[in-house]
């Protein structure tokens, strides 16, 4: 009996030793040489000290039913799953281990991800995927594809219920890119991570074009051109710090509110500066980020998709310690016009905020939608409609502050009162009208201008008259479409007061399966 017990313990210890041997320092070197960390080092950075608990560390891959290639028997099958605390809050995670068959996804590997996704959803806690994988494990064939399909399905079930974050820290190729694409946010690291559906070899074969991994699907490409990634950092340490920062703004699930800080030391910037930040000349650009930083709690702005469609700004911030989502036009890029990419970026952000109980603040200075054949042919109608749909559908508190221009369809789409804005404010220099003075004068007084002795003088007078009588905030104010015209210096205090008034906002929706957002 005593011997049986000793044998059982010996086996228990042997397994542990074999597991430890699998994670040798020598092995880690292979990742380090590529400028990458190992999966375990990444987990150490992400989770609070000693808080990570691993699950299924000893599972092994299934054997093959055919003779093509081999599947190496290794504990864990190339992915680490578990849970732990990030800044004291519960988070679930899976981290792919490139050192085991290139982090490729076989059936058991997929079953582990499936298990942790389901667990995160059941417990109502965020899930983070640290992705470093050659994709579907070729030897395991359709079993791998089935595994991906289950993972995608879990992503979709969890969408809008728990925050899902994908961190690309190596390859993500082929259909494997679609799990990250189905999650809320994608982080990438420059030079060591890439995402594409078909790689450089296929591009060469099919199109005879030479392109590097980085050029085709690197972090900067996805964070600026395609908009697939929301964040790009120079190294893995900073990438993980970024993930932790994002998590600090998010509730654990859709039934909770975002965390409130209880600090006594929030210092706002000097609000009086707000009177000076917007230039008198309506055509002069300025940086909307300056305005944002003068309204929110100091240094609390966390911008999302900073380099993609920069004509619209999206980000999370704190106002009087409470989280808000900010969507703002950026007059210093394309005069802040709304185009296809900014519509998509804005709509997705509004829907994220709405799903996770984050009140929205719109800071508006928009001359209109971007005109042009390219925009029309590429579907600005369809894409602009997404932003309209997202705002009108969102039931979180929604406030708009018009700083300067608010023209035409762009005025409507930026959470105008009649689209569903809860509170709509304007600064005294706001211009709220169907279109800008020049365009309006040309259309309404076309005949008079053609017949005038001095058309330049007449146009100048009419533009002035339009500015004075139409392009101001007071017509909208008198109709109640703007609740109040406010002194810019009072903006922060006003917003704090009305967000407080909206904190128990509740909206009953018409029962339906789901709407049909123009995708």
Binding site for ligand HXC (CB under 6 A): 101-102, 104, 134-138, 145, 148, 171, 173-176
DSSP category for residue 369: B
- 3-class DSSP string for 457-471: HHHHHHHHHHHHHCC
| Region of 78 on the Ramachandran plot (φ > 0 left; ψ -120 to 50 alpha; else beta) | left
Closest approach, Cβ 64 to ligand HXC, in A, equals 12
Give the pair of three-digit tokens for residue 147: 């595994």
- Taking the complex as a whole, the smallest distance from the CB of residue 137 to ligand HXC amounts, in Å, to 4
> Closest distance between ligand HXC and the C-beta of residue 84, in Å?
27
Of residues 111, 158, 317, 410, which has the active-site annotation? 410
Name the residue with tokens 């044998």: 7
Closest CB to ligand HXC among residues 194, 423: 194
409 classed as catalytic: yes
Residue number with CB closer to ligand HXC (36 or 322): 36
* Cα dist from 328 to 145, 401, 452, 481, 506, whole Å: 41, 10, 41, 19, 25
Across the beta sheet with 89-96, the strand order is 53-55, 79-86, 89-96, 127-131, 164-168, 185-189, 231-233
Tokens of 251: 């509730």
Active site residue 174: yes
Nearer to ligand HXC by C-beta: 135 or 242? 135
Helix, strand, coil content of the chain in percent (nearest 5)? 45, 20, 35
To ligand HXC, the closest distance from the beta carbon of 173 in angstroms equals 5
Catalytic residue among 160, 174, 420, 439: 174
For residues 143 and 368, which CB has a smaller minimum distance to ligand HXC in the complex? 143
Which position among 141, 160, 199, 409 bears the catalytic label? Answer: 409
Please, what is the minimum distance in Å from the beta carbon of residue 100 to ligand HXC?
Answer: 8
Nearer to ligand HXC, 36 or 42 (CB): 36
Residue 408 appears among annotated catalytic residues: no
Active-site annotation holds for 160? no
The rounded distance, in Å, linking the Cα atoms of 129 and 158 is 14
**Measured between alpha carbons, how far apart are the two ends of the chain, in Å?**
68
The residues carrying an active-site annotation are 174-175, 409-410
């Amino acid at each position: 009996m005593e011997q049986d017990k000793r044998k059982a313990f010996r086996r228990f210890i042997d397994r542990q030793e074999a597991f430890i041997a699998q994670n040798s320092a020598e092995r880690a070197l292979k990742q380090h040489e590529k400028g990458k960390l190992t999966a375990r080092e990444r987990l150490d950075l992400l989770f609070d000290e000693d808080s990570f608990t691993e699950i299924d560390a000893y599972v092994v891959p299934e054997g093959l039913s055919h003779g093509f290639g081999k599947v190496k028997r290794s504990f864990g099958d190339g992915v680490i799953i578990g849970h732990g605390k990030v800044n004291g809050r519960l988070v679930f995670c899976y981290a792919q281990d490139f050192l085991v068959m290139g982090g490729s996804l076989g059936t058991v590997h997929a079953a582990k991800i499936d298990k942790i996704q389901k667990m995160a959803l059941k417990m109502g806690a965020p899930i983070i995927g640290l992705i470093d994988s050659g994709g579907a494990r070729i030897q395991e064939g359709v079993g791998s594809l089935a595994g991906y399909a289950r993972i995608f399905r879990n992503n979709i079930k969890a969408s809008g219920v728990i925050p899902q974050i994908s961190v690309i820290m190596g390859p993500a190729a082929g259909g494997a890119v679609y799990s990250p694409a189905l999650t809320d946010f994608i982080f990438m690291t420059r030079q060591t991570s890439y995402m594409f559906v078909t790689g450089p070899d296929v591009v060469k074969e099919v199109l005879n074009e030479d392109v590097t991994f980085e050029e085709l699907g690197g972090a900067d490409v996805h964070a600026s051109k395609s908009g697939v990634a929301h964040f790009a950092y120079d190294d893995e340490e900073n990438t993980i710090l970024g993930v932790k920062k994002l998590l600090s703004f998010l509730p654990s699930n859709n039934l909770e509110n975002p965390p409130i800080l209880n600090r006594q030391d929030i210092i706002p910037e000097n609000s009086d500066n707000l009177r000076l930040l917007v230039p008198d000349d309506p055509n002069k650009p300025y940086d909307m980020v300056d305005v944002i930083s003068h309204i929110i709690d100091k240094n609390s702005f966390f911008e999302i998709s900073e380099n993609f469609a920069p004509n619209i700004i999206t980000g999370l911030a704190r106002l009087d310690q409470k989280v808000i989502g900010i969507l703002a036009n950026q007059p210093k890029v394309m005069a802040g016009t709304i185009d296809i990419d900014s519509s998509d970026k804005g709509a997705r952000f509004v829907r994220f905020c709405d799903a996770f109980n984050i009140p929205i603040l719109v800071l508006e200075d928009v001359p209109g939608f971007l005109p042009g054949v390219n925009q029309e042919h590429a579907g600005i109608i369809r894409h602009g409609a997404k932003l309209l749909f997202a705002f009108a559908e969102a039931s979180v508190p929604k406030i708009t502050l018009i700083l300067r221009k608010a023209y035409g369809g762009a005025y409507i789409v930026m959470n105008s009162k009649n689209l569903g804005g809860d509170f709509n404010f304007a600064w005294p220099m706001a211009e709220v009208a169907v279109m800008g003075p020049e365009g309006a004068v040309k259309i309404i007084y076309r005949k008079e201008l053609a017949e005038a002795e001095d058309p330049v003088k007449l146009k100048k007078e009419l533009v002035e008259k339009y500015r004075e009588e139409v392009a101001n905030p007071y017509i909208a104010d008198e109709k109640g479409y703007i609740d109040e015209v406010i002194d810019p210096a009072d903006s922060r205090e006003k917003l704090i007061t009305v967000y407080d008034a909206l904190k128990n906002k509740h909206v009953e929706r018409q029962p339906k399966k789901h709407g049909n957002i123009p995708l």
